Amino acid sequence: MNEMYTLTIDIHDMAIAVLLLLIAINVWMLQIATDIRLYAKKMRIIMPLTSLMIATIIFTGVVMMAAKHLHFTLQNNAMIAFAFVLIMMEVKRRVWLKRSRPSAPDALDLYRKKAMWLMGAEAVLTLLLSWWVW
């Protein structure tokens, strides 16, 4: 049982690191983007990977909670709340990209401003929560 818990913590930590890497890749791709159509095509690959990492983090968190016999602490409650916030932020970013009008001349700039704010908030919140829990 102890080995499973340790392995789950390691996978959880790696998934958080990969999520932060994916956020950095998203920021970089958004910075170098010149056309919103091409950017949206590339995001069809990256956004599902981000969702997969969030799901991995949530799944490993559930496994760890089960191993601890559902003993809720303040950190666990904060991580659960953060998972919901993170999912909502990613959905909001995906909807903004989907609703952006490629024919508008400033579509990429408008999306860039909103998306950079969201991705920055995701990265800062992830780092702060990780720092607090570790």
> Which residue's structure tokens are 């989907």?
98
| 3 state DSSP class of 133 | helix
Q: Which residues of 66-87 are buried (b: 16+ CB within 10 A; e: fewer)?
A: ebeeeeeeeebeebeebbeebe
Give CATH for domain 2-133.
Answer: 1.20.120
Q: Which pLDDT tens digit goes with each residue over 75-134?
A: 889 999 999 999 999 999 999 999 888 888 888 999 999 999 999 999 999 999 989 987
Q: Which helix (H) or strand (E) holds 73?
A: none
Cα angle 60, 51, 116; round to 5: 125
Residue ranges per domain, the chain?
2-133
Stated pTM of the model: 0.89
Spatial CA neighbour of 108 closest among 118, 121, 96: 96
Residue 21 has pLDDT above 90, yes or no: yes
50's tokens: 């981000």
Confidence bin at 50 (pLDDT 50/70/90): very high
Spatial CA neighbour of 14 closest among 47, 57, 50: 57
Q: Please report the pLDDT score of residue 2 as a whole number.
A: 81
Cα–Cα dist 60/65, whole Å: 9
